[in-house]
Amino acid sequence: MSKKKILIFDDDTSILEVVSIIFEDNGYEVQIAETADDIISKVNLFLPDLIIMDIYIPVIGGVEATRLLKDHEVHHKIPVLFITAKNDVAFLSSKSSAVDYLSKPFDLDELERKVERWIS
């Protein structure tokens, strides 16, 4: 059985590093990106089972990147989990078809539980 794949978009390199290590140690294949403007090409190449998306990521932002994904005829079913330090994450995730969200700073165990819920 092939590894489940997680694509992480965040402009905070320390979060990318920590979250990548945790999920790789848990047996996932992980790819990271510091911008989301080329989300469709990244998804086309990696074909993730789940996307973890920072809402306030350069250049177009996580909400717009998620809308592009959800409008795509092939990739629209890939679940997106929002993470952000802003307190409007619940509202923004509901407006852009994200399946779930976490506020930064987040509990790593809670992140793992949410990923398992949406990737199985």
Per-residue model confidence as pLDDT tens digits over 83-105: 887 766 666 666 668 899 888 88
pTM for the whole thing?
0.92
For residue 96, with 0-12 CB atoms within 10 Å meaning exposed, 13-18 middle and 19 or more buried, which class applies? Answer: buried
Query: What are the residue boundaries of the structural domains of the chain, listed by start?
Result: 5-119
CATH fold group of domain 5-119: Rossmann fold (3.40.50)
Per-residue model confidence as pLDDT tens digits over 27-54: 999 999 999 999 999 999 999 999 999 9
